[in-house]
Structure 1
Amino acid sequence: MRPERVSRWFVTASALFFVGFHAAMAVAAPRRVVVTLGLYGFVLHVLFGKAYALVPSYFNRDLAWDRGPAVQFPLSVLGTAGLALAPFGPPWLQPVGTTLWAGGVAVFLGTVGWTIRGNVTGAATGTGGPNAHREPVDRTANVAVPIALGYLTLAAGGALATTAGFESMLPQQLSHLLAAGTAALFVFGVGFRLFPRFLVAEAPRPVVTVVIAAGAGGPALLAFGLFDPELLLVGGVIEAVAVVGFVLSYIVLFLRSERRRVGFYAVLLAVVAGVVGIGLGLVLAVTGRSPALVTAHYRAMLAGFLGLTVVGAAFQFYPPAVGVWPYANDRTALVTIGLLGGGLGVQLLGLIGRFGWIISVGTAAGALGALLYTYLLLAAFARRWQ
């Protein structure tokens, strides 16, 4: 099974969940539904797909089990759908959805873990030729992957234990383990390998080390200190160091680069949203949980930092201009990025400024942006299906 085809399965499912995520925000669905569609559905599915395609080569290995992605795919999709619908369905839907989702995670962890078992720290990077000078940064970036897998293991185990009645973790703790511990760490690790190559520029090596180190420790403090104000603040500061360091690194790469491809602008908006989101998180750690600020924080991080980073990387892997359908081009991609970024900005303004009437404008813009993003991806995939 070719890695590119595996990625398209997961990326397509991710895009459909992205539409659902924005639709859920637009109709003011319960927070648990929104977070499930955005984090478990959109972010993690694209992470799974690209990890299968990229991690083996980054660790100078071949994928250990070619059928692993095909086995995981239905488990993850059905499990996520079940978890998203659980608040509206029968009582058995939550445990069934959790079991299916955790089963998919187990397949992913087993396949990727067995793939890198002889090179867990990523010392062998597969880097050579014209990119040989990037090996020190690549080696540091690889360290993020096994740590992110560890957080994913902890979250899946915690979800199963809670479903079994042990009440080991609350949904907010699971979300932080998955968003900050798994997804953000993958963004840091894979991003430091991808973006310097995309932009043909050099990332500052000392900053890479700081980002990976802070990104490795911050999520645990955030998740397990969620109801301990002092520990939460420490975790927030450490995670802020990681996010701000990554933001500065990307801005340096962007300014040093002569390339100006459409996806790069999405990531530029993503890092701005990351600074806003992490700032809101620190405010929450200091002042307490205002419902509006909590919503603004998770939307800035999930739809903004993680979401727009995914969109930018996807437009680089699957350029809109190769699409075979009408209006599949960079101009439509820029409109898509504007709708997603602008819609998020309007939402945050409404939430922070208590202008409730404009939040619906922002969510409507985001939903339209998600539809256009999905259209552009499917248009690019259609060329490969011909």
Structure 2
Amino acid sequence: MRPERASRWFVTASALFFVAFHVALAVAAPRRVVVTLGLYGFVLHVLFGKAYALVPSYFERTLAWKPGPAVQFPLSAAGTAALALAPLGPPWLRPVGTTLWAGGVGVFLGTLGWTIRGNVTGAATGTGGANAHRAPVDRTANVAVPIALGYLALAAGGALATTVGIVSVRPQQLSHLLAAGTAALFVFGVGFRLFPRFLVAEAPRPVVTVVVATGAVGPALLGFGLFDRGLLLVGGVVEAIAVVGFALSYLCLFLRSERRRVGFYAVLLAVVAGIVGIGLGLAIAVTGRSPALVSAHYRAMLAGFLGLTVVGAAFQFYPPAVGVWPAGDDRAALLSIGLLGGGLGSQIVGLVGQFGWVLSVGTAAGVLGALLYTYVLVAAFARRWNQ
């Protein structure tokens, strides 16, 4: 299976998990079900698929083991499904799901690790020609990738060690290692390579350096200091510098660019959601774990910062305009972004302000937005599915 075709399989599975994630929010499913569907299912499946397609070329390499994506896909998909159902099903689901998921992660890490083994720091970027001037920023951005892989390895190892009883790593710690350590770092590293090219604008290297550096340190402080009030606050501040720095960078790129493709608006909403989510996280570190603030925080970061970034990048990689199904076009894509962004805003207002009906409207909008996003995405895939 070619990397790009494998990428489409992962992205399609991710979209289905995205719908399930929003449905779980709408029916008030247990938090572990919601987070597993959103993080392990939606966000990480896109990360796996696009990493196979992008990282080798970004590190001036070719994929070391081409069957890797095909071997990983069923392990990751089945493992995630089992982990999502674990809080509702028999006790054996969690260890089985953890083993399958960690096995998929092992294939992913082994394949990419062997691919970049001679260029671990990313000094060779594959950047040349008309983009040669971007090489310094690309080298800095590449540093984020092996660190993100390290956090993924740490989370998978922690999950397995917890399952067999060697140590006890709490689910919230694993979620922070994966969301902030793996997913957000990939957004920073790959984003600083992709978005300047998409928008035909420049990202200042000092800002990229600060974002990557703080984005590398923050997840460790959050993951290991999650239940230490002081360390949690320090970690929140460090991670805030990374997220806000990335948000301001993207905003500057967007304003400087003359391009206005539909996916760019999703990322614009994503970085705004990231700033809101970071603010909510700092409020939790200062005031304590209010259930409403915790729920608003993880929705802002998972459905907002990470989720809408994924949606925007997906619409850029797979333009809605090439869709072959009825109404699978830019207008439908823009409507899905509006439903997802507006729904998320309503959910946060409903949770923080304790307006039940606003929360219900927001979750319903989220479900509709996720369904429409999936439809538009698959409509774009239909033209080249057999390629």
* Aligned twin of 2:73: 73
Aligned to 2:341: 341
2:198 paired residue number: 198
Match of 2:257 in 1: 257
1:342 counterpart letter in structure 2: G
**TM-score, normalization by structure 1:** 0.99
- Structure 2: runs of 5+ lacking an equivalent: none
Gaps of 5+ in 1: none
Give the whole-Å Cα distance in 1 for the aligned partners of 2:353 and 2:141: 38
Paired residue for 2:218?
218
Q: Which residue of 2 aligns with 1:153?
A: 153
State the distance in 1 between where 2:31 and 2:87 align. 10
Q: How far does residue 356 in structure 1 lie from its aligned partner after superposition?
A: 1.7
User: Who is 2:384 aligned against?
Assistant: 384
Rounded Cα–Cα distance in structure 1 between residues aligned with 2:168 and 2:144? 25
> C-alpha distance in 2, partners of 1:352/1:198?
36
What amino acid is the match of 1:241? Answer: I
Partner of 2:48: 48
| 2:162 and 2:169 in contact (8 A); partners too | yes
Q: What is the letter of the counterpart of residue 376 of structure 1?
A: V
SS at match of 2:218: helix
| Secondary structure, counterpart of 2:325 in structure 1 | coil
Superposed counterparts of 1:98-117, under 5 Å = 98-117=98-117
Equivalent residue letter for 1:116: I
Tell me how far apart the structure 2 counterparts of residues 166 and 352 of structure 1 sit (CA, whole Å). 39
| 1:270-281 equivalent positions in 2, closer than 5 A | 270-281=270-281
Amino acid in the other structure paired with 1:85: L
Query: Which segment is superposed worse, 159-168 or 199-208?
Result: 159-168
Q: Which residue of 2 aligns with 1:307?
A: 307
C-alpha distance in structure 1 between counterparts of 2:284 and 2:118, whole Å: 42
Counterpart Cα distance in 2 of 1:145 and 1:385: 29
Which residue does 1:57 correspond to in 2? 57
What is residue 14 of structure 1 aligned with on the other side?
A: 14
Identify the residue that residue 232 of structure 2 maps to in structure 1. 232
Aligned match of 1:356:
356
Q: TM-score, normalised by structure 2?
A: 0.99
Paired residue for 1:138?
138
Give, in angstroms, the shift of residue 205 of structure 1.
Answer: 1.2
Q: Distance in 2 between matches of 1:281 and 1:226?
A: 11
Partner of 1:164: 164
User: Which residue pairs with 1:176 in the alignment?
Assistant: 176
Superposed CA deviations along residues 161-210 of structure 1, whole A, max 9, x for unmatched, are: 11112342100000000000000000000000000000000011110000
CA distance in 2 between partners of 1:182 and 1:141 (Å): 14
2-structure distance, mates of 1:250, 1:169: 34
Q: In structure 2, how many angstroms separate the alpha carbons of the residues matched to 1:262 and 1:172?
A: 34
SS state of the match for residue 103, structure 1?
Answer: helix
SS of corresponding position for 1:384: coil
The answer for the alignment partner of 2:287 in structure 1 is 287
Deviation of 1:358 (Å): 1.6
SS for the counterpart of 1:119 is coil
Deviation at 1:86, TM superposition (A): 0.5
DSSP-derived class of the 2:328 partner: coil
Distance of 1:48 and 1:241 partners within structure 2: 26
The one-letter code of the counterpart of 2:113 is G
TM-aligned CA deviation for residue 360 of structure 1: 1.1
Aligned partners of 2:3 and 2:69 also within 8 Å: no
Q: Read off the aligned partner of 2:56 and give its amino acid letter.
A: P
> Structure 2 counterpart of 1:219, which letter?
P
- Residues 82 and 94 of structure 2 are in contact (CA less than 8 Å); yes or no, is this contact kept in structure 1? yes
Tell me by how many angstroms 1:4 deviates.
Answer: 1.2
**Quick one: distance in 1 between partners of 2:166 and 2:57?**
39
TM-fit CA distance, 1:88: 1.2
State the alpha-carbon separation in 2 of the partners of residues 320 and 367 from structure 1.
Answer: 19
Structure 2 counterpart of 1:373:
373
Deviations 1:85-121 (A, max 9, x none): 0011111000000000000000000000000000000
Name the CA distance, whole Å, in 2 between partners of 1:12 and 1:330. Answer: 19
Tell me the amino acid that sits aligned with residue 274 of structure 2.
G
Alpha-carbon RMSD across the aligned residues, in angstroms, is: 0.6
Residue 59 of structure 2 aligns with an amino acid whose one-letter code is: F
Structure-1 separation of matches of 2:292 and 2:298: 10
Report deviation, 1:300. 0.1
**CA–CA distance in structure 1, aligned partners of residues 199 and 15 of structure 2:** 25
Secondary structure of the 1:123 match is coil
Map of 1:86 onto structure 2: 86
- What is the distance in 2 between the residues matched to 1:362 and 1:134? 40
Distance across 1 between alignment mates of 2:94 and 2:357: 33
Please list every run of at least 4 consecutive aligned residues from structure 1 whose deviation after the TM superposition is greater than 2 angstroms: none
Using the TM superposition, give the Cα deviation of residue 3 of structure 1 relative to its aligned residue in structure 2, in angstroms. 1.7
Counterpart amino acid of residue 213 in structure 1: A
State the distance in 2 between where 1:252 and 1:90 align.
50
